[in-house]
Chain A
């Protein structure tokens, strides 16, 4: 294997037969290049969808209210449906089994936040501790709202990463007091949110604190919950349909009235996205396998052709004392060498092309088109193995035909 003479012989054969070497090398390089590009672009599409639908828990449900548009049971349209604390209790009791996390929500827009000289306007939400997993918020420092905060109506807040950056610049916000509309709150935690910039500009405070501060009674704005992850998509949809029906009855809303009370289940969207992703994955896989097969067929053809073309030469070598093993070894090492080198070249060209054009493709919904290293290396190895087998079969045949027949080959 590491016989210098043997390699010299191989390099000579390859360099003296440039067209042949170039052809087989090109086939391999092109197959790997195509594979890398297509796979990368496919991954880019996938990334776009993942980014678009990331941010909230995949099983989240939001319940919002508005004004009625249909008269119902003697009540006029245009009536405002208002959730109250008793609704929180009702939902919690009625649907306990189907609910994983649950939180009412009071939202206050454009709250002026001040820390020392810096100030800015943010949306403040009053929530339960359960709201953290609902938003998929990740604590960077400190903690989220706790049950105790809720009970004590504590004047504490958890702020988004960008709020900290805006107001505190490079200093840690944890433990400092900030002023919201003139009232001082202690920062108990800083969080990041995969949902992106908007979600990292929220300020969360205990629900009870917010209700006391911004509402004169026990009213609230909306509910967020996640359904039990043990439910499949169909059962989850059945659950939210029931939830909507029960709530509409409770608030005397026409079952067909869509704007008075809405239960929005992300599972519906998730289902579609997941189906789409599955299809996309299958397409990517198909393209990948297809390209590889094309490459394998290409290299196999070329190897068969090369051995056929060299039959006479192999006959001469045998007449001069080449053993069958040395013939097989020579052809296979040539094949492996060319395949590995060309495969590597194709891989590099592909990866660099993806890097180079990657950012310019974002307007075509392709984000960060890249290929996992193990995938391309795997593909190259498969091609090398295929090239080896493709070389081995004809090489074996060539080595076993009698030298006299090989010599007579025209």
Chain B
């Protein structure tokens, strides 16, 4: 599903440049539940942004769903994002003047789906995350866990190939965190590829595979020991 080969990325800082990703090789297959770990500055957010087509890589190869990603203009990137990718952010990034239902329906609007159908699909996904009765509430009227559930529903609404979650539990307490992870697990069990970025060990252990980054290179890539988890 996602294949990275010798991926490099650097950011210009004044006259120098900061080399963030130094030749990553990574292959995430369809239906995997992967976490990418690393301390801040390890390059994990940059990696997620590149995978999420929110940012571009400098050199190397990135193949998403069999399609080589290069020379993307903003418009193409927007279409691909809408088609293949669902995002879950640490700070939820819900639009504060739209209701839960409208937030979930927004990516469908950009996909060009009609108004009535949008409502139906959005409601379906809200039901899936257990927030059907909160559909008409504004984000400010929802708890942190509920907001993240709305965000997950929104990420799923366009039926993407991959769900990318950037520190999805970063702003939540432990209990809520694990219920959110359980929700992601449920989604994964239904066949969705899920990539989670985190720096919390116990969150990473809720996934099937942990990729560890340090200073822009992968230092380990291993399956989670199911028995230890149980």
Contacts and interface: CB of A to CB of B under 8 A. Distances in A.
19 contacts: A4-B115, A5-B114, A8-B115, A16-B97, A312-B93, A315-B93, A316-B94, A316-B95, A320-B107, A320-B110, A321-B82, A321-B111, A321-B158, A322-B78, A323-B78, A323-B79, A324-B75, A324-B78, A400-B74
Interface string B80-124: 011100010100011101100010001101110011000000000
A13 B97 contact: yes
Interface in A283-338: 312-313, 315-326
A319 B93 contact: yes
Contacts of B74: 318, 323-324, 399-400
A326 B112 CA distance: 12
Contact of A322 (B102, B110, B114): B110
A318 B78 contact: yes
B142 interface: no
A403 B54 contact: yes
Interface residues of B, number: 28
Interface residues of A, number: 28
Contacts of B87: 319-320
A313 B95 contact: yes
Contacts of A315: 93
Interface of B: 49, 52, 54-55, 74-75, 78-79, 81-83, 87, 89, 93-95, 97-98, 102, 106-107, 109-111, 114-115, 154, 158
B115 A321 contact: no
Contact of A404 (B49, B95, B97): B49
A317 B97 contact: no
A16 B98 contact: yes
A103 to B, nearest CB: 79
Contacts of B82: 320-321
A398 to B, nearest CB: 12
Question: 10 closest Cβ contacts across the A-B interface?
Answer: A321-B82, A16-B97, A321-B110, A320-B107, A404-B54, A323-B78, A323-B75, A324-B74, A316-B93, A403-B54
Contacts of A316: 93-95
B89 A5 contact: no
A52 interface: no
Interface string A1-44: 00011001100110011000000000000000000000000000
Interface centre among A4, A13, A313, A321 (most CB of B within 10 A): A321
Most buried by A among B52, B75, B78, B95: B78
Contacts of B107: 320-321
A81 interface: no
